[in-house]
Chains A and B, each alone.
Chain A
Amino acid sequence: MRSWSSRCGRVEVAEAGSCGLMKVFEKFFGDRGGGAAVEFALVGVTYCFMLLGAIEGGCFYLRVTVLDLATEQAARAIMINQGANNAGTFTAAPTTATAFAALIQSDSFGVLSLANIAVAVQMAGPVTGTSRAAGTGFQAIPPVASPAGTYQYLPGSCTIDYTTTTTGSSTTYALTSSSGCTAGTCATSRFALLPTQGEVSGGTETSSTSGSTVTDTYTGATFSCSAGQDIVVQAQYTDTSIAALVSYLFGPVTSTVAFQVEPATT
């Protein structure tokens, strides 16, 4: 049993009460034993918070990097009209917010959870003719500050009949008729871009040869005019793990990619 000296003389702990309450305090604060334990109790909590904070800080920047990468990958799927996730699985270009968020998640190495990903995909005004009118590009897209399932990318297409005339290595394209091609979706004037951008696919082909000239007639082909569209995608990740404190300090992680849709391949 511990004992110490006081004005009451040398006493046993069990007898402390006999000298009054003040004496108990005096003995308590006079005691030098267990100092390390008391100090650890004070410092340990702080230390644990700092250690966890360092780990969480690392996780935070991992999510930042992964979100950047995954958003680029998902944006690229729209850009080239097809995608492949990190597992090498080919996917179609996403046409809904849900599909876009799912593509980001599948590219995130399992770091991001789907429920916490908010996305915005916004398209500038359609391209009409062979060049873009002023003010209809990226400037026409309002800052995508609050991604919440916004999805304004609508790949435009319409049905056309056309012919190609090939002589030697030279090919010319001619539009015969069109259906559903409007200035707001797919202006027929964009057909002039076909030799370099090849935005047409499918259709029933009929071929005829006259001398060295081959004429192919395509009926019911799909004319796609999403190429050249200005698009801004933004993905935001809100943390709900124990890193919430770090998220509180730094806010949700946001990643933005601005790009133009590439010409389709034929």
Chain B
Amino acid sequence: MSGCAARLARARGGSAAVEFAILAPVLLLVGLASFEYSAAVRAQHDIGRVARYVADILQNQSSVSAAQLQDYFVAGQYMYASGGVDGTLAISAASVKFTNVNSAGNATTFSYCTGWDASSAATTPAYTAMPAAALVNASDLTDSYDNDSTIIVEASATYTPPFIPSFYGAVSRSFTFTAIARVRPRNVLQIATNPSPGFSSC
């Protein structure tokens, strides 16, 4: 056996094949990664479009009902699904009004009555009340003035790369893309929520 091992270690034949065996997986990964990256960039781009268009639709409303919100969520799903990507889409939105100016002229408080979350792969999303202040940053207050109003729409989705999981089997390689769009309401200072189950009327 030691003779065989020594002969193997000394052998110089087939070195190209051995080198190829070492490099091929790396090359293959790099090649696939270039496709993965492009696909992921497109998924992120799609999420941005979903947020923008749902915000565009919302800004024309004076008030929204649960049925309308369902519609807008479905609209977002149509747009996200067409990119060939899947994963659970979630949309959160709020129509926020800033008030109570301080001595520096900035708003100190904000209110919203139309916050909602929707997250479901089904065509009929289940809505939950939005977590308080989930979409409003502290800097929004210092950047805002009395009666400033904004609609904040956040769309996010889990994205699973098409190639990588097949290499790693059960190990999850999913990650989440998030995009935020902001617009001003056109017709009213703040979009009201029509009284309906799951929403506090405003």
| CB contact between B71 and one of A54, A72, A137 (< 8 Å): that residue | A137
CB pair A258 B78 closer than 8 Å:
yes
B72: Cβ under 8 A from any A Cβ: yes
Inter-subunit contact A259/B56 (CB<8 Å): yes
Which residue of the partner chain A has the closest CB to B194?
Answer: A131
A261 to B195, CA, bound (A): 26
Chain B min CB distance to A76 (Å): 10
Name the A residues within 8 Å of B83 (CB-CB). Answer: 254-255
Report A232 CB to chain B, min CB distance, Å. Answer: 5
Cβ-defined contact, B84 with A57, below 8 A? no
Q: Among A64, A141, A254, which residue has the most Cβ atoms of chain B within 10 A?
A: A64
Contacts of B72 in A (CB 8 A): 137-138
Chain A residue contacts of B45, Cβ below 8 A? 68
User: How far is B78's CA from A262's CA once the two chains are assembled, in angstroms?
Assistant: 20
Q: When the two chains form their complex, are residues B79 and A254 in contact, meaning their CB atoms are under 8 A apart? A: no
Whether, in the assembled complex, A157 has its beta carbon less than 8 Å from a beta carbon of chain B, the answer is no
Contacts of A50 in B (CB 8 A): 31
Chain A 125-139 residues near chain B, CB threshold 8 A: 131-132, 134-135, 137-139
Q: Is A159 an interface residue (CB 8 A)?
A: no
Whole-angstrom distance from the CB of B63 to the nearest CB of chain A? 8
The chain A residue sitting closest to B75, CB to CB, is A258
Stretch at the interface among B34-42, B109-117, B136-144, B167-175: B34-42
| Also in contact, A257 and B74, with CB within 8 A (given A61-B38, A134-B65, A263-B60) | no
A57 lies within 8 A of B82 (CB): no
B60 close to A230 (CB less than 8 A): no
Cβ contact of A228, chosen from B34, B60, B74, B84, cutoff 8 A? B60
B73 — nearest CB in chain A belongs to which residue? A138
Query: Is residue A102 within 8 Å, beta carbon to beta carbon, of the partner chain?
Result: no
CB-CB under 8 A from A57, the residues of chain B are 34-35, 38
The minimal Cβ–Cβ distance linking B103 to chain A, given in whole angstroms, is 34
Interface 0/1 of B40-57, CB less than 8 Å to A: 001001000100010011
User: For window 63-91 of chain B, which residues contact chain A by CB distance below 8 Å?
Assistant: 65, 67-68, 70-72, 74-76, 78-79, 81-84
Name the residue on B nearest A259 (C-beta). B53
Encode contact with B along A232-266: 1 for CB under 8 Å, 0 otherwise.
10100000000000000011001111111011000
Closest chain A residue to B79 by CB distance?
Answer: A256
Residues B79 and A138 in contact, CB atoms below 8 Å apart: no
By size class, the interface of chain A is 35 or more
Does chain A have a CB within 8 A of B200? no
Residues of A within 8 A of B71 (CB): 124, 132, 137-139, 230
Q: A143: CB under 8 A from chain B?
A: yes
Select which of A72, A228, A250, A255 is within 8 A of B82 by beta carbon. A255
A258:B79 contact, CB within 8 angstroms: yes
Which residues of chain A have C-beta atoms less than 8 A from B34's C-beta? 54, 57
B100 in contact (CB, < 8 A): no
Interface status of A24 (Cβ within 8 A of chain B): no
Q: Tell me the A residues contacting B by CB distance below 8 Å.
A: 50, 54, 57, 61, 64-65, 68, 72, 124, 131-132, 134-135, 137-139, 141, 143-144, 196, 228, 230, 232, 234, 250-251, 254-260, 262-263
9 contacts between A and B (CB under 8 A): A64-B42, A132-B68, A138-B71, A143-B78, A232-B75, A250-B84, A254-B83, A256-B78, A259-B57
Where the two chains meet, the residues of B that have a C-beta atom closer than 8 Å to any C-beta of A are: 31, 34-35, 38, 42, 45, 49, 53, 56-57, 60, 65, 67-68, 70-72, 74-76, 78-79, 81-84, 123-124, 187
9 closest Cβ pairs, A-B complex: A137-B71, A258-B75, A256-B82, A134-B67, A138-B75, A138-B71, A138-B74, A254-B82, A61-B38
20 more CB-based (< 8 A) A-B contacts, given A134-B67, A234-B82, A258-B78: A54-B34, A61-B42, A65-B42, A68-B49, A72-B49, A124-B71, A132-B71, A134-B65, A137-B68, A137-B72, A143-B78, A230-B75, A232-B78, A251-B84, A254-B82, A255-B83, A257-B49, A258-B79, A259-B75, A262-B60
